[in-house]
Structure 1
Amino acid sequence: MRLLASLHEPADLADAVRDPHRSLSRHELLGEASALAAELDGAQTVAVHATPTVGTVVAITAALLRGVKAVPVPPDAGEVERAHILRDSGAELMLTDEPGDTYGIESLPITRPRRPGTPPAEPAAGEAALVLYTSGTTGPPKGVVLSRAALAADLDALAEVWQWTAGDTLVHGLPLFHVHGLVLGVLGPLRLGSRLAHTGRPTPQLYAATRGTMYFGVPTVWSRVCAAPAEARELRAARLLVSGSAPLPVTVFDDLRALTGQAPIERYGMTETLITVSTRADGERRPGHVGLPVPGVETRLTDVRDGMGHLQVRGRTLFDGYLNQPPRADDWYATGDVATIGPDGWHRIVGRASTDLIKSGGYRVGAGEVEDALLLHPAVREAAVVGVPHPDLGEQITAYVVADPVRPEDLSAFVAERLAAHKRPRVVHLVDELPRNAMGKVQKAALKHG
């Protein structure tokens, strides 16, 4: 199947893909990627040093054209993580323009003079396309195997939900080794025919200086955009502002709407499922909620108590299984997230069952609800809530807060005035910053065990 359908269209598109230093037309990208693909003959799996550049787009495109599994490697991966990914994936080549240790694997330059190649025949829909490594609660990262069919199904579903067309220009500065930045942010434009402008880094200044119709960001990005009002107002001409990878605080939602004139689109997904739930471009945008299942996806809650349950999903967008492990045995995939689903089908993600469902004094408390209450306080800029073992309560609700000068006991009282008293944080730690990963998600395990 032609996963990257737009590359084969007869009409060229100038500046189809660009970063701050380089741009390629659609035909130039196809020519460069096809030439590189010819040098992958015989390989089954290749690693890609996934810098936020056009070079990474060329490398991933080459692998997909050739039918070789592509394994993006984070450019900031430490020695142990990089060695694990290369060893576990069985990658035979490292596609990279960066000098460095490839741990015994042959390297192949992405960018060097080559005659434009002829596009190879793309493989069947069921063939594996990407192996994305994702960390769990225990053990080293696992390789998530995503098929061409799953990628195509998800991108086509989002094209419908977001009214995403070839007339759009997507702007983002996200990493190119995750679903958000790579699958949505690169393969989306290459399948649907829109332009991609990657800003290198997701700063308010770079977003404001780059004209587009769609902008992708994680909550940290949008929070920083709102903290730069002049830059935020430059996004008023955009058609969609999309937030994902972590819950968007209601305060940021409201600030973004006030500054840009439109409420953001929120969506929900995982590496294993791709994007399964989203707000529609032509529908309501409800703060604190991620919308409805996308076409081809079903959801359900299990173990429902107090309106909250464990979210499971099934559909065409799900992964094949974890690399080097038995294939999935059940159509339904347990996400590990706790959610609510309203009578109208709207989903709200409470958080991870392992870290965001706190069992305190016989009550089940969603960390996200407490975080939202804390963020209503004018002094609070960021908040993360976890459950800490407690001899009497089972778990004690504990908050880590980045804030202007304020007394911790005042924040606890503030929450108690807005939620049930048992939901107030018993302990509030004032910190300079919250630990986050490359996608801006707060690393709550570091807070609980640090």
Structure 2
Amino acid sequence: MTLLPGLRGSGADRSDALRVAGRTLSAEDLLGCANAVADRIRGARAVAVEARPSLESMVSMVGAVQAGVPLVPLPPGADADERRRILRESRADVLLGGAVGGELPVVPVDLRKRSWATHPEPGPASDAVILYTGGVRGPSRGVRISHRAIAADLDLLAAAWRWSAEDVLVQGAPLFRAYGLVVGLLGALRVGSRFVHLDRHAAAGPTGTIYLAVPRQWAHIARDASRARTLSAARMLVSGDAPLAPAVGERLRLLTSHRPVEGYGTTETLVVLTGPAGAAGRPLPGVQTRVLSRDGRPVPADGDSVGELSVRSPTLFSGYLDRPGSPPPAGGWHPTGDLATVDPAGGHRVLGRGGADVVRCGDRRVAAREVEEVLLTHPGVYDVAVVGAPHRTRGEQVVAYVVAAAGLTAQALIDHVGRLLSAAARPRRVHFVDELPRSAVGRVRKSLLIRRNGPAPVPDP
């Protein structure tokens, strides 16, 4: 099937179809360069690409899709052992673009080479990309995503966001994650819109109509009022990969006159819910959801009862690499592992994973991500992770691990959160650290922070 019709569509004569770090390629040149890559890798089992923000990397990725060869984006921050594991599990036999460690034969990418050869269309069920999960609770897992699933998700998002070939998509999301690669790069090439990738902040560089960034980037942008105001001319601001803190979304609304749009999904589901930030997200057409209690029964649709979110959708993944030949989920339902509520109108509020992302303070559930994003709005906070620690009377209490400027006090941060969130969300303990433990794909290893608190309940501070 044709996953990227925008390469040959109405924007084929655009001189700036792809822009990365100040360098551009026209749509015609992008197609010619990608075809030249596809000519050289046709028949490979899978190809790996170092997922750095460069024209060479993106041409490599598009070339793999054109050739119908599964694309394996390598996280630039992965250590040698993790990279070898990814290459071994994915069975990649070619490395595109440059040497990463000598594990595989390298096919150089020369942007001066062009090809106008045509390649057979890959089957809809064949693997288009192999993405690795965040790895916050152990080793990351390779997720097989088909051409059909990606096309279905992008078409649903294009309809929901009124995304067209007239748009200019500006994004800063990492290219080894679904938001950066699938929604960003492949989405623009399917719709036919111009694409601009920024390696640091989604508010810098050329003017766009759609800005796509992850919550940490939006928190940074919200702290810079002059930069944020430049986004007022955009058509929409999109946040993905994790929930956006209400305080960050509200500050962006005040500075830009735009209420950000959120998209929820996992690596296994792609984006399945979308809606205004801070409001309940609704399933995209054709996406089915259910929220089940621990005993497997649907929770009441009252907007308050919490259960685990499961999804059945044409956007679902094909399987895990570490479980070859495993059967699909029962009835086509995939349990996401995320806790959520559903309201009478069908809107879903996703709280996050139980344990690491949701802190149970008595009868209140506090989303750790909301506290993290509020802490990141403090100018002295550089990085943060929030977890729950056992508490003698409350069940759990909010604990924050913070990388911060010298001189910042725990009380200043507790007061900062208290001004923007409920009393239950205020951290009871703040630990200042030099850095946070992260997985190969950059996600904070919260399981390691939870272990630091130990299993024994702590008394009131």
Q: Which residue of 1 aligns with 2:8?
A: 8
Secondary structure of 2:6's counterpart equals helix
User: Against the structure 1 CA distance between its residues 17 and 418, is the aligned structure 2 distance closer, same or farther, given a 3 Å change threshold?
Assistant: closer
Q: Which residue of 2 aligns with 1:314?
A: 312
Task: Output aligned runs, 1:191-202, within 5 Å.
Answer: 191-199=190-198, 201-202=199-200
Which moves more between the two structures, 114-123 or 174-183? 114-123
Structure 1: state its 5+ residue gaps. 280-284
Q: Which residue of 2 aligns with 1:33?
A: 34
2:46 touches 2:93 (CA, 8 Å); kept in 1?
yes
Q: Which residue of 1 aligns with 2:291?
A: 301
Task: Output aligned runs, 1:80-91, within 5 Å.
Answer: 80-91=81-92
Query: Aligned match of 2:431 in 429, 432, 435?
Result: 429
User: Against the structure 1 CA distance between its residues 85 and 290, is the aligned structure 2 distance closer, same or farther, given a 3 Å change threshold?
Assistant: farther
User: Against the structure 1 CA distance between its residues 436 and 222, is the aligned structure 2 distance closer, same or farther, given a 3 Å change threshold?
Assistant: farther
User: Against the structure 1 CA distance between its residues 401 and 343, is the aligned structure 2 distance closer, same or farther, given a 3 Å change threshold?
Assistant: farther
User: Against the structure 1 CA distance between its residues 357 and 203, is the aligned structure 2 distance closer, same or farther, given a 3 Å change threshold?
Assistant: closer
TM-score, with structure 1 as normaliser? 0.87
Secondary structure of 1:449's counterpart equals helix
> Cα deviation per residue 1:26-70 (whole Å; 9 max; x = unaligned)?
111111111111111321211112111121221111111111111
CA shift, 1:296, in A, is 1.7
User: Against the structure 1 CA distance between its residues 246 and 410, is the aligned structure 2 distance closer, same or farther, given a 3 Å change threshold?
Assistant: closer
> Cα deviation per residue 1:388-428 (whole Å; 9 max; x = unaligned)?
2457765444234578855549938985997576x765434
User: Against the structure 1 CA distance between its residues 406 and 379, is the aligned structure 2 distance closer, same or farther, given a 3 Å change threshold?
Assistant: farther
Q: Which residue of 1 aligns with 2:282?
A: 292
Question: What amino acid maps onto 1:299 in structure 2?
Answer: T
User: Against the structure 1 CA distance between its residues 409 and 189, is the aligned structure 2 distance closer, same or farther, given a 3 Å change threshold?
Assistant: closer
Secondary structure of 1:295's counterpart equals coil
The 2-side partners of 1:87 and 1:266 are apart by 35
1:320 touches 1:327 (CA, 8 Å); kept in 2?
no
Q: Which residue of 2 aligns with 1:282?
A: none
User: Against the structure 1 CA distance between its residues 385 and 412, is the aligned structure 2 distance closer, same or farther, given a 3 Å change threshold?
Assistant: farther
2:125 is equivalent to residue 129 of structure 1 = no
1:38 touches 1:117 (CA, 8 Å); kept in 2?
no
Q: RMSD of the alignment, in Å?
A: 3.1
2:143 is equivalent to residue 144 of structure 1 = yes
CA shift, 1:135, in A, is 3.7
Identity fraction in percent:
43
Question: What amino acid maps onto 2:90 in structure 1?
Answer: S
1:72 touches 1:177 (CA, 8 Å); kept in 2?
yes
Question: What amino acid maps onto 1:254 in structure 2?
Answer: E
Secondary structure of 2:233's counterpart equals coil
The 1-side partners of 2:352 and 2:167 are apart by 32
User: Against the structure 1 CA distance between its residues 410 and 118, is the aligned structure 2 distance closer, same or farther, given a 3 Å change threshold?
Assistant: closer
The 2-side partners of 1:15 and 1:26 are apart by 7
Which moves more between the two structures, 147-156 or 405-414? 405-414
Q: Which residue of 2 aligns with 1:186?
A: 185
CA shift, 1:211, in A, is 1.0
Which moves more between the two structures, 45-54 or 141-150? 45-54
> Cα deviation per residue 1:233-270 (whole Å; 9 max; x = unaligned)?
11110001111112111111111111111111111111
Aligned length in residues: 437
Q: Which residue of 2 aligns with 1:65?
A: 66
CA shift, 1:374, in A, is 6.8
Higher relative contact order, chain-length normalized (CA < 8 Å, sep 6+) = 2
Task: Output aligned runs, 1:103-182, within 5 Å.
Answer: 103=103, 105-111=104-110, 113-136=112-135, 138-182=137-181
Which moves more between the two structures, 433-442 or 327-336? 433-442
1:266 touches 1:290 (CA, 8 Å); kept in 2?
no
Q: Which residue of 1 aligns with 2:247?
A: 251
Question: What amino acid maps onto 1:30 in structure 2?
Answer: L
Structure 2: state its 5+ residue gaps. 294-298, 453-461
TM-score, with structure 2 as normaliser? 0.85
CA shift, 1:447, in A, is 2.5
Question: What amino acid maps onto 2:241 in structure 1?
Answer: S
CA shift, 1:221, in A, is 0.9
Task: Output aligned runs, 1:216-231, within 5 Å.
Answer: 216-231=212-227
